[in-house]
A and B are shown apart, each in its own frame.
Chain A
């Protein structure tokens, strides 16, 4: 290799390094496992770095509203990203749906139920876990399912609310709640036993369209744009689908 080529290559490499930025992302808890994989691939492909905070959509939104340094927001619903755009917290027109979530009823115990619907109707449990409907879209969907089945009122005293879908999952995974409403993606990533699983018909709850949006703080960060582009790529969609989400 000629010295000149080496010099040019060195310059080129240092230039790409200089272009590498860090993007700070707020991600809804249900997407944690997928996000870890996506972030790794994104970093490998682009050389950008990511810094991710996980939490319930409502909690993250309230943090964004109070000036949290997030540049990209991956919510578990459409409403909060829309609200962020409307309130001037996000770049108008940057929102899009990156995944459609699926709600399942899950228990650690094998053969606790074959038909989740009958299990819920019979109500033979001490504690049924769901995420806080006020802050977590999956919790809201769970509430809609119980309303649909007409069991919400009589089940209410036995409902335990997780702060996010991650805590809800942990209530069920430790066996402290016999069953709970969690995201299908969490089950796909769960290394333990399958337990009992009921994939709830999507007609029982309003669609969990999970939208992403570019926040104002990321307006001048190329890495923020790059991450959103990556999220729309075929490769990312494939990973998202593997984890049990619907993609458009």
Chain B
């Protein structure tokens, strides 16, 4: 059977890009949420967690309206000269970042909160600059948090379906990711192809989670006092 690798590479590219972006965007948000005591903190935490409970169709619907040529974001992207986002790889990245945001922020926030203010205070008595403190103290100490965030974002983006179906347009090599390809095969009664991709997904997802648990388990054990 002629196996089509394109959806596989595309999915990995999407998940990889999304994960990198989310670690960059999610870290400051999580740090701020872990440290701040402002009255609206819980409201913002709730906003970040929204994609966990919202059906992907809600996100897909709003994205379709907002990203359209006459929608607010669509007008902005056009003014910036990027064109419109739906039916493009960039559009999927944008959607995935929103969709997987809680999977980056929450593990990081938990890790930062678990650190407490103490290590930073100690570091600052040693005259470490805030940036230095973050890079050399916080990041190494919060390593399991970063690892969990990265793996969850990656895995969650790979499993994304509803949003992609709504704003993707099923374009091979651009927006036809694995989950959509499987759906397409099933709908077209091409069960052989569907089985291959589906079984691959199952094995991959299991391996990813298994690795995460093993690594995190070892890390926790080795750092037990």
Contacts and interface: CB of A to CB of B under 8 A. Distances in A.
B160 to A, nearest CB: 16
Interface stretch (B3-11, B17-25, B60-68, B99-107): B60-68
Contact of A175 (B70, B83, B171, B186): B70
A231 B86 CA distance: 39
B189 interface: yes
Given A162-B169, A171-B169, A176-B69, A135 B87 contact: no
Interface string B81-118: 00110110000000000000000000000000000000
A75 to B, nearest CB: 14
A134 B189 CA distance: 10
B171 A159 contact: yes
Nearest to A60: B187
Contacts of B70: 175
Given A171-B169, A176-B67, A176-B68, A58 B188 contact: yes
A135 B187 contact: yes
Interface size class of B (residues with CB under 8 A): 20 to 34
Given A175-B69, A176-B84, A161 B169 contact: yes
Contacts, number: 56
A159 B175 CA distance: 11
Contact of B171 (A58, A134, A161, A170): A161
Consensus secondary structure, chain B interface: loop
Contact of B87 (A62, A65, A127): A127
Nearest to A132: B170
B188 A160 contact: no
Interface in A89-148: 126-127, 129, 132, 134-135
Nearest to A127: B87
Nearest to A164: B187
Contacts of A135: 187-188
Nearest to A163: B165
Given A176-B68, A176-B84, A176-B87, A129 B169 contact: yes
Contacts of B169: 127, 129, 160-162, 171, 177
A170 B189 CA distance: 25
Contacts of A58: 187-189
Contacts of A62: 186-187, 189
A134 B87 contact: no
A198 B167 CA distance: 25
Contacts of A163: 165, 170
Given A161-B170, A162-B169, A177 B187 contact: no
Interface string B168-179: 011100100000
Q: Which 9 A-B pairs have the closest CB atoms?
A: A160-B169, A161-B170, A134-B188, A176-B86, A160-B87, A175-B68, A174-B68, A175-B69, A135-B187
10 contacts: A58-B187, A65-B189, A126-B84, A160-B170, A161-B171, A162-B170, A174-B68, A175-B68, A176-B84, A177-B87
